[in-house]
Amino acid sequence: EPPVVFYNVYQANQTLAARVVSEQLEQLGSAGSRVSGVAMTTIGGSASTNYNCPKCWKAVHHESGNEILTLQALYDHCAAGRSKLVAYIHSK
């Protein structure tokens, strides 16, 4: 079973975030079926920002915070037994 990727996207500087996220999602896209999905937690910036990623879903948006928010979601996912493999990445 491919891993679910938990992606912490810090987007206080939306121009920089868009560039970094685009590059990272391109790399994730090249993984093909080796990634089952990408749960995005966005922090700062606009809650309505969308990234071109068919395997992604916006898990939650926070006006402020840090990677602990995404790591907690990853932990909760694992504790609930939703998948056997997970990965964590961030845009900083």
91 pLDDT above the threshold of 90: yes
Gap between the terminal Cα atoms of the chain: 28
Q: Kindly state the average pLDDT of the residues 41-62.
A: 93
pLDDT at 4: 96
What ranges make up the beta strands (E) of 1-92? 4-10, 37-43, 56-62, 86-90
Instruction: Report the predicted TM-score, pTM, of the whole model to 2 decimal places.
Output: 0.93
pLDDT in tens, 3-17: 999 999 999 999 999
pLDDT in tens, 24-45: 999 988 888 899 999 999 999 9
Q: What rounded mean pLDDT belongs to the chain?
A: 94
Torsion sign across C-alpha atoms 79, 64, 56, 68: negative
Q: Is 20 within 8 Å of 90 (Cβ atoms)?
A: no
pLDDT at 19: 95
Q: Count CB neighbours of 78 within 10 A.
A: 15
Locate 24 and state its tokens.
């990272």
